[in-house]
A and B are shown apart, each in its own frame.
Chain A
Amino acid sequence: MTQRPLSPHLGVYKFAYTMALSILHRIMGSALSVGFLVLVWWLMAVAQGPDAYAAAIEVLRSGFFKLLLGGWALAFIYHFCNGIRHLFWDAGVGLERHQARRSGAVVVVATLVLFALFICAAYCYVPVTE
Protein backbone atom coordinates (compact mmCIF):
# COMPACT_ATOMS: atom_id res chain seq x y z
CA MET A 1 0.00 0.00 0.00
CA THR A 2 1.28 3.48 -0.79
CA GLN A 3 2.21 5.58 2.23
CA ARG A 4 -0.10 8.48 1.45
CA PRO A 5 -1.11 10.89 4.22
CA LEU A 6 -4.35 9.96 5.95
CA SER A 7 -6.89 12.28 7.53
CA PRO A 8 -7.12 13.91 10.00
CA HIS A 9 -4.05 16.00 9.06
CA LEU A 10 -3.40 17.13 12.60
CA GLY A 11 -0.12 18.95 12.07
CA VAL A 12 -0.98 21.33 9.26
CA TYR A 13 -3.27 23.86 10.94
CA LYS A 14 -2.56 26.96 12.98
CA PHE A 15 -4.02 26.44 16.45
CA ALA A 16 -7.46 27.88 17.21
CA TYR A 17 -9.40 27.16 20.39
CA THR A 18 -12.28 25.72 18.38
CA MET A 19 -9.85 22.90 17.47
CA ALA A 20 -9.34 22.18 21.15
CA LEU A 21 -13.14 22.07 21.61
CA SER A 22 -13.38 19.64 18.70
CA ILE A 23 -10.77 17.21 19.99
CA LEU A 24 -12.21 17.54 23.51
CA HIS A 25 -15.55 16.35 22.12
CA ARG A 26 -13.86 13.13 21.00
CA ILE A 27 -11.82 12.70 24.18
CA MET A 28 -14.88 13.26 26.38
CA GLY A 29 -16.91 10.94 24.15
CA SER A 30 -14.28 8.19 24.47
CA ALA A 31 -14.22 8.66 28.24
CA LEU A 32 -18.01 8.37 28.29
CA SER A 33 -17.78 5.06 26.41
CA VAL A 34 -15.84 3.72 29.40
CA GLY A 35 -18.42 5.36 31.67
CA PHE A 36 -21.13 3.43 29.82
CA LEU A 37 -19.45 0.19 30.91
CA VAL A 38 -19.52 1.42 34.52
CA LEU A 39 -23.23 2.25 34.14
CA VAL A 40 -23.93 -1.30 32.95
CA TRP A 41 -21.83 -2.72 35.79
CA TRP A 42 -23.91 -0.64 38.22
CA LEU A 43 -27.17 -1.89 36.64
CA MET A 44 -25.94 -5.47 37.00
CA ALA A 45 -25.18 -4.79 40.67
CA VAL A 46 -28.78 -3.62 41.23
CA ALA A 47 -30.06 -6.74 39.44
CA GLN A 48 -27.83 -9.00 41.57
CA GLY A 49 -29.31 -7.82 44.86
CA PRO A 50 -28.57 -5.88 48.08
CA ASP A 51 -25.16 -7.43 48.85
CA ALA A 52 -23.70 -6.90 45.39
CA TYR A 53 -25.15 -3.39 45.34
CA ALA A 54 -23.60 -2.49 48.69
CA ALA A 55 -20.24 -3.73 47.42
CA ALA A 56 -20.59 -1.72 44.20
CA ILE A 57 -21.55 1.43 46.10
CA GLU A 58 -18.53 0.99 48.35
CA VAL A 59 -16.28 0.95 45.26
CA LEU A 60 -18.10 3.93 43.71
CA ARG A 61 -17.79 5.93 46.94
CA SER A 62 -14.03 5.45 47.25
CA GLY A 63 -11.99 8.62 46.79
CA PHE A 64 -10.53 7.56 43.46
CA PHE A 65 -13.90 6.63 41.99
CA LYS A 66 -15.51 9.83 43.26
CA LEU A 67 -12.92 11.71 41.24
CA LEU A 68 -13.69 9.52 38.21
CA LEU A 69 -17.44 10.05 38.62
CA GLY A 70 -16.88 13.80 38.76
CA GLY A 71 -14.81 13.50 35.57
CA TRP A 72 -17.55 11.52 33.85
CA ALA A 73 -20.13 14.11 34.92
CA LEU A 74 -17.98 16.87 33.42
CA ALA A 75 -17.39 14.79 30.27
CA PHE A 76 -21.12 14.12 29.93
CA ILE A 77 -22.10 17.76 30.37
CA TYR A 78 -19.51 18.93 27.84
CA HIS A 79 -20.28 16.21 25.28
CA PHE A 80 -24.01 16.93 25.73
CA CYS A 81 -23.67 20.70 25.19
CA ASN A 82 -21.15 20.47 22.36
CA GLY A 83 -23.19 17.65 20.79
CA ILE A 84 -26.14 20.03 20.51
CA ARG A 85 -23.76 22.53 18.87
CA HIS A 86 -22.81 19.82 16.38
CA LEU A 87 -26.48 19.08 15.66
CA PHE A 88 -27.05 22.75 14.82
CA TRP A 89 -24.11 22.59 12.42
CA ASP A 90 -25.58 19.45 10.85
CA ALA A 91 -28.76 21.43 10.25
CA GLY A 92 -26.62 24.05 8.49
CA VAL A 93 -26.92 26.62 11.27
CA GLY A 94 -24.02 28.61 12.74
CA LEU A 95 -21.24 27.45 10.40
CA GLU A 96 -19.63 30.88 9.92
CA ARG A 97 -16.31 31.25 11.71
CA HIS A 98 -17.42 33.99 14.11
CA GLN A 99 -20.61 32.03 14.89
CA ALA A 100 -18.67 28.81 15.56
CA ARG A 101 -16.32 30.69 17.89
CA ARG A 102 -19.20 32.29 19.76
CA SER A 103 -21.12 28.99 20.11
CA GLY A 104 -17.88 27.42 21.36
CA ALA A 105 -17.67 30.02 24.11
CA VAL A 106 -21.33 29.41 24.96
CA VAL A 107 -20.64 25.67 25.28
CA VAL A 108 -17.69 26.26 27.64
CA VAL A 109 -19.67 28.62 29.87
CA ALA A 110 -22.74 26.34 29.85
CA THR A 111 -20.56 23.35 30.76
CA LEU A 112 -18.97 25.16 33.71
CA VAL A 113 -22.34 26.42 35.00
CA LEU A 114 -24.05 23.03 34.65
CA PHE A 115 -21.08 21.25 36.25
CA ALA A 116 -21.23 23.64 39.22
CA LEU A 117 -24.98 22.93 39.49
CA PHE A 118 -24.28 19.20 39.30
CA ILE A 119 -21.74 19.38 42.11
CA CYS A 120 -24.30 21.30 44.20
CA ALA A 121 -26.99 18.71 43.40
CA ALA A 122 -24.68 15.82 44.23
CA TYR A 123 -23.43 17.24 47.52
CA CYS A 124 -25.99 19.69 48.91
CA TYR A 125 -29.33 18.39 47.71
CA VAL A 126 -31.26 16.05 50.00
CA PRO A 127 -33.38 13.70 47.89
CA VAL A 128 -37.11 13.89 48.55
CA THR A 129 -37.92 10.43 47.18
CA GLU A 130 -37.05 7.79 49.72
Chain B
Amino acid sequence: MSLRTPLGKVLGHGSAGDGVSHWWQQRVTAIALIPLTLWFVIGLLRRSAGKFEVMQDWLSQPWTALLALLLVVTLAWHSKLGVQVVIEDYVHAKGAKTTMLLLSTFIHFAAAVAGIFAILRLALS
Protein backbone atom coordinates (compact mmCIF):
# COMPACT_ATOMS: atom_id res chain seq x y z
CA MET B 1 0.00 0.00 0.00
CA SER B 2 1.29 3.42 -0.86
CA LEU B 3 0.62 6.48 1.24
CA ARG B 4 1.49 8.81 -1.62
CA THR B 5 -1.31 10.86 -3.10
CA PRO B 6 -2.23 10.39 -6.76
CA LEU B 7 -1.29 14.02 -7.43
CA GLY B 8 2.13 13.53 -5.81
CA LYS B 9 2.73 10.47 -7.98
CA VAL B 10 1.81 12.31 -11.15
CA LEU B 11 3.96 15.36 -10.37
CA GLY B 12 6.93 13.13 -9.48
CA HIS B 13 8.57 15.79 -7.32
CA GLY B 14 9.50 13.46 -4.46
CA SER B 15 10.20 14.50 -0.88
CA ALA B 16 12.64 17.23 -1.86
CA GLY B 17 9.89 18.96 -3.81
CA ASP B 18 11.89 19.54 -6.96
CA GLY B 19 12.07 16.07 -8.51
CA VAL B 20 15.26 15.27 -10.37
CA SER B 21 16.19 18.89 -11.15
CA HIS B 22 19.18 18.97 -8.74
CA TRP B 23 20.50 15.66 -10.08
CA TRP B 24 19.93 16.76 -13.68
CA GLN B 25 21.61 20.16 -13.26
CA GLN B 26 24.63 18.44 -11.72
CA ARG B 27 24.97 16.33 -14.89
CA VAL B 28 24.35 19.19 -17.32
CA THR B 29 27.04 21.32 -15.64
CA ALA B 30 29.38 18.28 -15.51
CA ILE B 31 29.09 17.77 -19.26
CA ALA B 32 29.63 21.49 -19.93
CA LEU B 33 32.70 21.48 -17.68
CA ILE B 34 34.49 18.77 -19.70
CA PRO B 35 35.40 21.07 -22.64
CA LEU B 36 35.52 24.26 -20.53
CA THR B 37 38.02 22.99 -17.95
CA LEU B 38 40.14 21.29 -20.65
CA TRP B 39 40.29 24.57 -22.58
CA PHE B 40 41.31 26.51 -19.47
CA VAL B 41 43.94 24.06 -18.19
CA ILE B 42 45.57 23.67 -21.61
CA GLY B 43 45.41 27.43 -22.22
CA LEU B 44 47.08 28.07 -18.87
CA LEU B 45 49.79 25.44 -19.35
CA ARG B 46 50.67 26.82 -22.79
CA ARG B 47 51.40 30.26 -21.36
CA SER B 48 53.74 31.78 -18.83
CA ALA B 49 51.12 32.03 -16.09
CA GLY B 50 53.56 33.87 -13.81
CA LYS B 51 53.76 36.87 -16.14
CA PHE B 52 51.07 39.50 -15.62
CA GLU B 53 51.17 40.86 -19.19
CA VAL B 54 50.73 37.38 -20.67
CA MET B 55 47.70 36.61 -18.50
CA GLN B 56 46.17 40.06 -19.00
CA ASP B 57 46.59 39.76 -22.76
CA TRP B 58 45.06 36.28 -22.80
CA LEU B 59 42.08 36.98 -20.54
CA SER B 60 41.18 40.28 -22.19
CA GLN B 61 40.61 38.72 -25.62
CA PRO B 62 36.87 38.47 -26.40
CA TRP B 63 36.72 34.69 -26.94
CA THR B 64 38.86 33.98 -23.89
CA ALA B 65 36.66 36.24 -21.78
CA LEU B 66 33.50 34.54 -23.05
CA LEU B 67 34.80 31.03 -22.31
CA ALA B 68 36.21 32.15 -18.95
CA LEU B 69 32.80 33.60 -18.00
CA LEU B 70 31.10 30.33 -18.94
CA LEU B 71 33.73 28.42 -16.95
CA VAL B 72 33.32 30.52 -13.79
CA VAL B 73 29.51 30.42 -13.85
CA THR B 74 29.36 26.67 -14.60
CA LEU B 75 32.05 25.83 -12.02
CA ALA B 76 30.26 27.87 -9.34
CA TRP B 77 26.94 26.17 -10.05
CA HIS B 78 28.41 22.65 -10.23
CA SER B 79 30.41 23.25 -7.04
CA LYS B 80 27.39 24.70 -5.22
CA LEU B 81 25.28 21.63 -6.10
CA GLY B 82 28.06 19.24 -5.08
CA VAL B 83 28.84 20.88 -1.74
CA GLN B 84 25.09 20.96 -1.02
CA VAL B 85 24.85 17.17 -1.42
CA VAL B 86 27.90 16.61 0.79
CA ILE B 87 26.42 18.81 3.55
CA GLU B 88 22.98 17.20 3.26
CA ASP B 89 24.50 13.72 3.48
CA TYR B 90 26.92 14.17 6.37
CA VAL B 91 25.62 17.03 8.53
CA HIS B 92 22.51 15.84 10.34
CA ALA B 93 22.06 18.52 13.03
CA LYS B 94 19.41 20.82 11.63
CA GLY B 95 20.91 24.12 12.75
CA ALA B 96 24.40 23.29 11.58
CA LYS B 97 23.08 21.93 8.30
CA THR B 98 21.03 25.06 7.51
CA THR B 99 23.91 27.36 8.50
CA MET B 100 26.41 25.49 6.34
CA LEU B 101 24.05 25.36 3.35
CA LEU B 102 23.45 29.11 3.63
CA LEU B 103 27.19 29.80 3.95
CA SER B 104 27.97 27.62 0.96
CA THR B 105 25.33 29.37 -1.15
CA PHE B 106 26.59 32.83 -0.18
CA ILE B 107 30.26 31.94 -0.77
CA HIS B 108 29.54 30.34 -4.15
CA PHE B 109 27.40 33.27 -5.26
CA ALA B 110 30.01 35.81 -4.12
CA ALA B 111 32.81 33.86 -5.82
CA ALA B 112 30.85 33.65 -9.07
CA VAL B 113 30.14 37.40 -9.04
CA ALA B 114 33.80 38.15 -8.22
CA GLY B 115 34.96 35.94 -11.10
CA ILE B 116 32.50 37.54 -13.54
CA PHE B 117 33.53 41.02 -12.38
CA ALA B 118 37.24 40.27 -12.78
CA ILE B 119 36.83 38.88 -16.30
CA LEU B 120 34.55 41.71 -17.45
CA ARG B 121 36.94 44.29 -16.07
CA LEU B 122 39.83 42.72 -17.98
CA ALA B 123 37.84 42.30 -21.17
CA LEU B 124 36.17 45.71 -21.22
CA SER B 125 38.97 47.99 -20.07
Binding site for B on A (CB under 8 A): 6-8, 26, 29-30, 32-33, 36-37, 39-40, 43-44, 46-47, 49-50, 53-54, 57, 61, 76, 80, 83-84, 86-87, 90, 118, 121-122, 125, 127-130
Contact = CB atoms under 8 A, between A and B. Distances in A.
9 closest A-B pairs by beta carbon, nearest first, are A47-B118, A43-B118, A53-B52, A33-B79, A40-B115, A47-B121, A50-B52, A40-B111, A44-B118
A3 B68 CA distance: 46
Nearest to B42: A121
B96 interface: no
The secondary-structure label for the interface of chain A is helix
Contact of A6 (B41, B54, B55, B92): B92
Contacts of B59: 43, 46
Interface of B: 27, 30-31, 34, 37, 41, 45-48, 50-56, 59, 68, 72, 75-76, 79, 82-83, 86, 89, 92, 107, 111-112, 114-115, 117-119, 121-122
Contacts of B47: 127, 129
Given A57-B50, A130-B54, A47 B122 contact: yes
B100 to A, nearest CB: 12
A50 B27 CA distance: 38
